[in-house]
Structure 1
Amino acid sequence: MARAAKKTADRKTADRKTAAPKAKPSDNRDRIVDALMDLAAEQDFGDITLSMIAERAGLSLADFRDCFPSKGAVLAAFNRRIDRVVLDGATADMADETTKERLFDVLMRRFDALAPYKAAVESIAAWARREPLAAAQLNRIVVNSMRFMLEAAGVDTEGPVGALKLQGLALAWARLVNVWLADEDPGMAATMAELDRTLRRGDMLVARAEDVDRLTSPLRSLARGVFSVGLRFVGDRRARRQEATEASANDA
């Protein structure tokens, strides 16, 4: 806790590095992603069409189709771009930090990477709040990203508890993004405070889930064993019935 508090204080008081400028597009896919985010910063995300994105990217609709099947796929590509920036920023000095501190660093780096696109993210978030199907699609994209964020922090995401961590962090991230969007402080004090509270709550929930998983693991093993025996029993009965039917047919 002391180290986390110090890191938070250091981050508040230190001059924040200027967000890296957007990379010059290297191919059509990058141009399309940039075009979508530029348009999202200017207007309602739900009003953006594929033709508008292609035109802004300086490409034909056919070129767009060669790169992406939908607007949602472009959004997923943008998310992967942010993932790459965050993962590239991982450093060896995180090794001696606690899991909570590492995840705090990883998610704050994600906010840093998103900073140049804040207006676009606000448009996307508003779209997801209005459209349940859009929210579900966005959730799938975020879950995939959170898998790598947790992995970068050294958090296991396998098994039932891992699935709980992934979905829990994805939902928490949606709330954190709303805090970040409203946070006008260049040091992101409100965002960091909410992230710290979220991770502390998450630690407690995960600990409880892991306890439940350990307690129920023997029961699951027993259930699988009983189910397996049951399947073999049913299979044997069917085989004997089939043999009896064939024997009766031969006698006839």
Structure 2
Amino acid sequence: MDNDQFDDALLRSAMERAALYGWRRLTVVDAARDAGLSLDVARKRFPFKANILLTLGRLADEAALVDDGSTGTPREKLFDLLMRRIDVFQQYRAGVRAALRALPFDPPLALLLGGATVESMKWMLSAAGLEVGGLAGALRVQALLGAWTVTLRAWDKDDSMDMGTTMATLDKALDKALRFSALPGSKTAGAAEGIGGLDGHDFSTDPSVDLPLEPSA
């Protein structure tokens, strides 16, 4: 079993235990034992319980960033990128929702993951052909973070098979986050969209509804 297979097995076991017993009662040791995994390797690969969620974030980013040759505007690319991240969450839905419920009671974890979410949003913007440096880039990151938070809140409540409510929420959130005019710093030739602001939304992460995630590198 290579490292990727080990991580996947432990993550799946951990999410199943979180769904059954809650995030706060979950331990890496229990997850490893349930999956029949070596405890010494688990200690090396997952030294802290937070690494479970960080691994989930890495897998979500990697899935989003796979180059499938698709083209489109920055907005269209961002929609696809963020929905791919949601698709990974959906595979572990019950466990992820258990973690969401626990975050308000674990401020250090929420803070750690909040910073990781910012890095993930930078990856998504860069993949869509938008600059993330400087003041303009920082505003883009915060606007996309707001759109992600609103979308994740909708996903948490969306029990439909096709995630129609989630997609509609993301579509609307991106409309609010994107200004339909050329912005300096776009790396996509002819791009006519850039990140603007989210009217009426708080750009800070809300640990009670958001699951911040780790960048893929």
Structure 1 position 60, deviation (Å) = 4.3
Aligned-residue identity in percent: 33
Instruction: Decide which structure has greater helix share.
Output: 1
Q: Which consecutive segments of 4 or more residues in structure 1 shift more than 3 A?
A: 24-27, 204-208
Who is 1:194 aligned against? 169
Which deviates more from structure 2 when the two are superposed, residues 112-121 or residues 167-176?
A: 167-176
Given the superposition, is the C-alpha separation of residues 200 and 73 from structure 1 closer, same or farther in structure 2, using an over 3 Å criterion?
A: same
Contact 1:25 1:31 in 2 (8 A): no
Residue-pair matches, total: 183
Report Cα offsets for 1:158-206 as digits up to 9, x if no partner: 2233233224423432331120121122232221221122112212494
**What is the TM-score with the length of structure 2 in the denominator?**
0.73
Q: CA RMSD in A?
A: 2.6
Give the drift of 1:70.
Answer: 0.5
Superposed, 1:1-252 pairs within 5 Å as 27-88=5-66, 90-94=67-71, 97-204=72-179, 206-207=195-196
> What does the per-residue CA deviation read over 1:3-49, in whole Å, with 9 as the maximum and x for residues that have no partner?
xxxxxxxxxxxxxxxxxxxxx98543333222222222222112212
- Residue pair 1:139, 1:170 contacting (<8 A) in 2 also: no
Indicate the SS of the match to 2:144: helix
Aligned mates of 1:160, 1:57 — CA distance in 2: 46
| CA displacement at 1:76 relative to structure 2 | 0.8
Give 1:207 shift: 4.0
Kept in 1, the 8 Å contact 2:132–2:138? The answer is yes
SS at match of 2:173: helix
Structure 1: stretches of 5+ with no match in the other structure? 1-23, 209-252
Unmatched 5+ residue regions in structure 2?
A: 180-193, 198-217
1:46 is paired with a residue of what secondary structure? coil
Closer/same/farther in 2, CA of residues 194 and 77 from structure 1, 3 Å limit: same
